[in-house]
Structure 1
Amino acid sequence: MELNTSNNNKKKMTVINGSHFSNLEGFYKEISQLFMQDENWKVGTLDGFDDILYGIDSNITWKNSRKSKEDLGFELTKEFYENKIRQGKPFNIELIQQKLDELIDGNGKTLFEILIEIIETHKTITLILD
């Protein structure tokens, strides 16, 4: 993580490197290393990822984002939903089945798209896909 010290931009510059991971667990590990060095817990869920972004004021560059888009694409997302359905409680199986059906029908979001959407809901973060 680098700190940009120019007077007109006091935001931190953070780089997510898509070449450091190829699945969701690897993404969580990357994020934990970037944002949670001083914490005694690590990111392990989409909700947890969303939670740690509150209060962050940063420019985030996602390097190798095309690789991440492929890695966190249709196949991994399908597997992600199928695992949750198999696991059952505490997950809302009907909702997850609906999300899986939407994905298969070409209308659902991939994990990559979900992660981008989560980041973009935080107005103090500027995301650059590289």
Structure 2
Amino acid sequence: MESNTSDKNNKKVAVINGSHFSDLAGFYEEVSGVLMKDAGWKVGTLDGFDDILYGGFGVFENHEDVEMVWKDSHKSKKDLGFELTGEFYEHKIRQGKPFNVDLARQKLDELMAGTGQTLFGILVEIIESHKNITLVLD
């Protein structure tokens, strides 16, 4: 298997391949394999994904400059789009605690009204909130 991380001019490059997954669980598997390698645990939530992007316990260190290339991002945008996002919030509402049901309802209402973010948009926003990470949608 080819490595999904490399050094490019002192900047780490991590490659997420959208052709490797078609849902959020698959995304978590992909980023766990790319960013966590031998860390002993896997990403399983949006908060967990945000946490690993701080670095220090995966393939890059805290505040290290990283270029994250999301190959086949157009496929991921479709896969992690409106339909899957609706199912994501509906599941949280059905399950109830420990999830914030009111917030999930609000996010679902926003999605249905066309003003809410899809899972793809949320993931992109999480990545872009880390100033040391440059996201390249390929």
Q: TM-score, normalised by structure 2?
A: 0.89
Determine the structure 1 residue equivalent to 2:100.
92
- Answering whether residue 46 of structure 2 is matched by residue 38 of structure 1, we say no
Determine the structure 2 residue equivalent to 1:3.
6
Determine the structure 1 residue equivalent to 2:65.
57
Unaligned runs of 5+ in 2: 55-61
Q: TM-score, normalised by structure 1?
A: 0.94
Unaligned runs of 5+ in 1: none
Determine the structure 1 residue equivalent to 2:117.
109
Deviation at 1:3, TM superposition (A): 2.3
- Answering whether residue 74 of structure 2 is matched by residue 71 of structure 1, we say no
Q: Give % identity.
A: 67
- In the alignment of these two chains, the number of paired residues is 127
Detail structure 1 runs of 4+ shifted over 3 Å in the superposition.
Answer: none
For 2:29, the aligned partner's letter is: K
Taking the aligned partners of 2:7 and 2:134, their CA distance within structure 1 comes to 14
Deviation at 1:38, TM superposition (A): 1.6
Taking the aligned partners of 1:58 and 1:81, their CA distance within structure 2 comes to 31
